[in-house]
């Protein structure tokens, strides 16, 4: 609690009216990677309490839209359609598609984290599963050339997850924004340029 209160990002988040200090991670990643542009259609997985969605809605104006998904409740935010549910649930997939203009997205964001158990292999497996859910969402919803920004955790299984991302996107990089605590094993995979469907199939065939 003391660390939280002393944290300069927490103080700045309060001053700027952001709902979470996590908003600064997205701001820093976006400044470096130039991911978000006006008019974009964005899906934000694991969105509550809503810092990433707030920032994405600001940066996609005018003409953009943000569809936010979380198992937990999130307060309404201007320019954001919130769908409460599990990102694995087909009913949620259908609701997200319906909320998007033309049923397609330009960018998928995922800051999803599991409830940590403290048992390292369990936590690692759950984290890698959430990253793969985000990848599957991106492959289902993105138009060719679209991007994915997804939280990952260093540990066993991450290399295999990254290989799958590399099979689907032209460029994949791992970034640790300054706002991400140095003692946390979290990082973010920045995936750019979703390959068109037949290209993805060929890449997978070759590695099979």
Q: What is the set of active-site residues?
A: 151
> What does the buried/exposed string (b/e) look like for 11-41 if buried means 16 or more CB atoms within 10 Å of the residue's CB?
eebeeeebbbbbbbbbbbbbeebebbeeebb
Cβ 119 to ligand SAM, closest distance in Å? 17
Q: Which of 20, 77, 127, 180 binds ligand SAM (CB under 6 A)?
A: 20
Binding of ligand SAM at residue 70 (CB under 6 A)? yes
Given phi > 0 = left and psi -120 to 50 = alpha, else beta, which region is 34? Answer: left
Q: Which of 30, 111, 123, 124 binds ligand SAM (CB under 6 A)?
A: 111
Q: Which of 69, 100, 161, 165 binds ligand SAM (CB under 6 A)?
A: 69
Binding of ligand SAM at residue 23 (CB under 6 A)? yes
Residue nearest to ligand SAM (CB): 46
State the CB neighbour count (10 A cutoff) for residue 159: 9
Cβ 203 to ligand SAM, closest distance in Å? 27
Cβ 43 to ligand SAM, closest distance in Å? 11
Binding of ligand SAM at residue 51 (CB under 6 A)? yes
* Residues of this chain that bind ligand SAM (CB under 6 A): 19-20, 22-23, 46-52, 69-72, 86-88, 111-113, 130
């Amino acid at each position: 609690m003391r660390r939280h209160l002393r944290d300069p990002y927490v103080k700045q988040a309060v001053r700027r009216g952001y709902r979470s200090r996590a908003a600064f991670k997205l701001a820093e990643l976006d400044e470096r990677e130039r991911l978000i542009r006006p008019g974009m259609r964005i899906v934000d997985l694991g969105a509550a309490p809503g810092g990433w969605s707030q920032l994405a809605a600001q940066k996609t104006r005018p003409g953009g839209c943000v569809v936010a998904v979380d198992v937990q409740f999130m307060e309404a935010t201007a320019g954001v359609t919130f769908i409460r549910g599990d990102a694995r649930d087909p009913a949620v997939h259908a609701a997200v598609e319906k909320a998007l203009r033309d049923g397609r997205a330009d960018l998928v964001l995922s800051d999803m984290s599991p409830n940590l158990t403290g048992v390292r292999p369990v936590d690692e497996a759950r984290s890698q599963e959430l990253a793969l859910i985000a990848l599957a969402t991106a492959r289902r919803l993105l138009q060719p050339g679209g991007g994915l920004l997804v939280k990952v955790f260093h540990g066993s299984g991450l290399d295999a997850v990254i290989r799958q991302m590399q099979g689907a996107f032209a460029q994949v990089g791992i970034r640790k924004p300054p706002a991400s605590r140095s003692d946390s094993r979290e990082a973010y995979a920045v995936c750019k340029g979703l390959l068109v469907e037949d290209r993805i199939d060929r890449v997978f065939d070759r590695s099979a």
